[in-house]
Structure 1
Amino acid sequence: MTEHTDPAYSAYARRPSPAAAAPDPTAVALGNATLLGIGYLLLRRWRAAAVAVLGSVMLLTAVARSAETWAEVLLLLWWAGGIAHGRHLARRWPEHAVRSGQRAATLAGALAVLLAAVLLRVDAHGIENRVATARQAGDCEAAAAAQGEVGRGHRLAGAPVVKPGDAVVRACRRLDGAASALARAARTGSTKELGRGFGTLAAVLDEPGNEQTVGTVLDGFLEALPTDDSCDTAALTAWLRERTRGHDVLDRSASTAARTEPAALMGCGDRLMTRDAWHEAREQYRRLLAEYPADSRAGRARGGVRKATVAIELDQVRELVKAASDASSGYCDKPAKYSAAPPFRKGSARALFLGDAEYTDRLPGSWRTTDPAKAALVVCADEAENGSAVQTCSYENKKSRYLPHRVTFYKARIPLKVYELRTGKRLSARSVQIGGTSCPAVLHYKYYMYDLGPGNQFVSPSKSDIRKAFDSVLGR
């Protein structure tokens, strides 16, 4: 054989023949069906292959991120267009070839992609069915666990399928926050936390399909009622009773409030009474009577109102008595009733004396009391003034016998304000005059630089004189 050494001939001999380079249109189409631009690689169109891969990545990313049907439609059109375009380019060649190996490889690749997509989409439907079932059962934990099985492949092959599950998980997370707020409300009695929790429940309930999960969280809170603290329970149930009805699942809180509030109000009132919080306790009893007048505890509540009212009255009287520095201040100026005070009975009534105590302090102990709770009367005594004249006597000044003094002795007149403590009403505007001895042999008095004499004097009363003067006041 003769060896050819011509360079041009040698180059021609190494170029493949047209038959050897002819593409297989079916293999090219199947290669592009993988979305990896393999068909373009078979045609040796490297730029087209790169564009095909880049376009597939962008569309798959759009599908995963948007989870919208339009993105899947675009991806499907891109897939179908790649298949058709590759086959069209291959058929433009002057010659075609059947390449079994290429067909088998590209068919396997295309089937693998399609099978993976189908299996992932079917699995995505299964996951979402479990999510939907758990949500219908009100089980957020199971729904979140099922949605947690969603992987990257599921989002590429079935993003619109798994998208509703993402919304369920988001709603469940919000419900977790609501459950935490409601738990804090049950633990602390905070109506602010209660309002925050119900606000979240209402917002989640506005999204369709969340009735059962919202109901589960609500039931968990309602089962915690009544709480260990009756006053906390009363505050929470009052909020629930007063909330505006939405004609939805949240309205079942009203029945729980109606069932638990009466006992809570009664218990809270009793508890506040032990703490001497009379006003707050009375408010609890009054709420029970106003909202649940037919409740079996209504009688006890009325008794609680009376007891709290009496305690409030006594506190007020004590404050006024404490503020009475004379006969024109404190209780003497603004009398108040104490409806549990002993009734005024002649011969046995005890009085609380206020004002000037020069004479009243000498009354028998059985007539007087310093405890407003034991008094039937409140007697405000003003400073003594001259009453009836009793006797006038002449006295000699030891320093100068030539300057005698005539001294008139008067009964001590005590202006009085007498109040019946039981009603706080003034019984009479009167005064008493206290008699006693007059014209002692020696009259002692304080004198100053310019001594003008002792002046007029009060008689010197004995205890019996004072007692006799106040007999008519106390009905003794």
Structure 2
Amino acid sequence: MPQAKPTPAPAPAPVERSHDPVAVALANAALLGGGYLMLGRRNLAVVTTLVTAELVIIFASSAQVLWFAFVLLGWWLALVAHGWYLAGGWPRGRRREAGPDGSEPEPGPGGPRPRRSWRLRSVALGAALPVLLTAVLLRLDVERIDNAVAEGRQASDCGRVEAAVDRVSPAHRMVAISPGSDGEDMITACAAVRLSSAKLTTGRTPGSSSVEMLEAGFEELVGIRAQSPDYQGMVQTAVDRFFDGLPTRDPCVTVRVLDWLATALPDRQSAGRAAEVVRRLAPAALLECGDDEVAQDRAGARTAYQTLVDRYPNHELAGQAREKVAQIDKAIALENLQRNLDQVRASLVPRSSGSLPAYCSSPAPYLTARTGGPGRAMIFGASDYIDKLPGEWRTTDVNDATRVICAGDTEYGAAVQTCPYENVGNVTFHREAVPVRVYDLRTGQLISDTRVEISGSSCPYFIYGYGTKKFVTPSDGDVQAAFRPLISP
């Protein structure tokens, strides 16, 4: 009997692959190579996925330009079309190769479809839908970001614009070109406004206040405002914040800032607000500054009070300022008088007994000295004669004197009599002449610059010493008679 042929082993079940064009195109639309995997083309799936990833990364990170967006869109359409083509969806009627098991190829789009086509399409749609939905949601979020930027710009709200731009991520850049870019210039402007505003704050801060900082801050704000109408609001907010920060805790700093605002503010658009702030705050600031300074800088305090009186004469605080000016003037006058008294007294002290004090060569007025009527004199020099003057004529107290008399060294005056003496010969007797300068104590002016000649007895029976010229011998009455016209004219 012939031997029976062995039954061949069954062929392995073919790997089920989709040849449904719709399913393959949908799977490729996810940009993950799913359609190629359905067709069994793993290498192609890996290569296209890597290319897709590279293109998306380049677009999201550095190539945010329109032409590259079209490149990416073209690549996506090419993947969809290529998957459709490989699955036999185009051109219509193109024959497809038989499966690896020798089975008949699936019918084209016009023929009957296997039951598994809808299942494969569902799987492809399930793979593509999350990607497409994510892209749509990201695109909608980009719209929300752009709207928030536009609203923030319109409202000059730096915080809203910055918050919107901060939401932009690389994922948003995968589906849009430069999302939120309309707010980037405003963010730059906001940073500049903050820097300028910080200068204004520093310029009005006690301890670091600086007119230069104020000027720089306002000039920068004026420049920013000129760049775009969108910046008007945030610049105005910074300016308002500066004005709202006045007055400062140091009233004298407030006075300096207000003076600068009134005279040197470079922002003409803010001039009206500055004028209103100055009118409202300056009077109180000037008064408080004077009160703070009066203990240490009385002259500076007086300047502050007087400025208040001069600039705002009808203000309710002007009366207080006038009283304080009067008080300071009185105190200064008393101090000046005391200083004058101290200086005059010091200049009337002789360096040694019988010498003339500094006053005799550099007289100075004593503003509160007595005037009118008979008065005493402060007499210096020629002590031999001064001691012979009555006590009611002279004094050592500057407050009791009306004049200062400075007497020099005695000289020979006019000859009175010549008498012969044994062993000496003829001796001529002369009056004692004393050079005298008389000053008015109140004004320090020179009243008289003269020589006083004192008479006396001559030709005594005995003389002492030798020489042909001798002084007469004056009595107390002779001395008083010579000085009386100078003391009680």
TM-score by length of 2: 0.62
Report the equivalent of 2:70. Answer: 77
Give the match for residue 430 of structure 1.
448
Whether 1:368 and 2:398 are equivalent positions in the alignment is: yes
**Aligned equivalent of 1:66:** none
Instruction: Tell me if 1:186 matches 2:205.
Output: yes
Cα deviation for residue 85 of structure 1 reads: 1.5
Show the 5 A alignment for 1:27-426.
Answer: 27-28=24-25, 31-32=28-29, 34=30, 44-45=43-44, 46-62=46-62, 71=64, 73-74=66-67, 76-93=69-86, 95-96=88-89, 99-101=120-122, 103-125=124-146, 127-128=148-149, 131-132=152-153, 135-136=156-157, 153-154=171-172, 160-165=178-183, 167-168=185-186, 170-184=188-202, 185-188=204-207, 189-208=209-228, 209-249=230-270, 252-269=273-290, 272-275=293-296, 277-278=298-299, 280-281=300-301, 283-284=303-304, 287-288=307-308, 291-292=311-312, 300=321, 304=325, 307=329, 326=358, 341-342=367-368, 345-347=371-373, 357-358=380-381, 364-365=394-395, 368-369=398-399, 381=406, 383=408, 386=411, 389=414, 408-416=430-438, 418=440, 421=443
Higher mean alpha-carbon deviation, 242-251 vs 228-237, is at: 242-251
Distance 1:461 1:270 in 2: 62
Q: For 1:266 and 1:458, how far apart are their aligned partners in 2? A: 72
5+ residue gaps, structure 2: 90-107, 109-116, 349-356, 388-392
Per-residue CA deviation, residues 156-200 of structure 1 (Å, 9 max, x unaligned), is 556755345555555555555555544442323543443454355
- More deviation in 387-396 or 253-262? 387-396
Amino acid paired to 1:28: A
Closer/same/farther in 2, CA of residues 327 and 382 from structure 1, 3 Å limit: farther
User: 1:232 deviation in Å?
Assistant: 2.0
TM-score by length of 1: 0.63
CA RMSD between the two structures: 5.6
Q: 2:205 is paired with a residue of what secondary structure?
A: helix
Amino acid at match of 2:218: F
The share of aligned pairs that are identical, in percent, is 17
Q: 1:109 to 1:231 in 2, by over 3 A?
A: closer
Q: State the SS of the aligned residue for 1:226.
A: coil
Taking the TM superposition and a 5 Å limit, the aligned residue runs for 1:449-464 are none
1:67 match = none
Tell whether the 8 Å contact from 1:417 to 1:429 is kept in structure 2 after alignment: yes
| Structure 1 pair 349–74 and aligned structure 2 pair: CA distance change class (3 A) | farther
Residues 295-315 of structure 1 show CA distances to partners (whole Å, capped at 9, x for unaligned) of 566675598399398689769
Tell me the CA shift for residue 121 of structure 1: 1.7
2:214 maps to amino acid: L
Following superposition, the deviation at residue 238 of structure 1 comes to: 0.9
Q: Is this contact kept in 2: 1:412–1:459, CA < 8 A? A: no
Q: How many residues in Structure 1 have an aligned counterpart in Structure 2?
A: 427
The 1:439/1:51 distance shift into structure 2, 3 A limit, reads farther
Secondary structure (helix, strand or coil) at the match of 2:180 reads helix
Provide Cα deviations, 1:48-91, integer angstroms capped at 9, x if missing partner.
4322210111111136xxxxxxx263454134202222234335
Residues in 2 aligned to 1:214 and 1:378: alpha-carbon distance in whole angstroms: 73
C-alpha contact 2:410 2:434 (8 A) present in aligned 1: yes
Using the alignment, how far apart are the partners of 1:107 and 1:20 within structure 2?
Answer: 18
Which secondary structure does the structure 2 equivalent of 1:95 belong to? coil
| Contact 2:255–2:285 (8 Å) recurs in 1 | yes
The letter of the residue matching 2:240 is D
* 1:337-368 CA distance string (max 9 Å, x none): x9xx45974138899x8xx9437999644972
Residue 37 of structure 1 contacts residue 50 of structure 1 at CA under 8 Å; is this kept in 2? no
**Is there any run of 5+ residues in structure 1 with no aligned partner, and where?**
64-70
CA contact (8 A) 2:439 2:447 kept: yes
Conserved? CA contact 2:371–2:442, under 8 Å: no
Deviations 1:119-157 (A, max 9, x none): 422442464367458745xxx667766766555545655
Q: Comparing 230-239 with 45-54, which one deviates more in the overlay?
A: 45-54
1:103 CA displacement: 2.9
Q: What secondary structure sits across from 2:381 in the alignment?
A: coil
Rg (Cα) greater in structure? 2
- Matches of 2:199 and 2:473, distance apart in 1: 77
**In 2: Cα distance, 1:94 partner to 1:23 partner:** 6
Aligned-partner SS, 1:413? strand
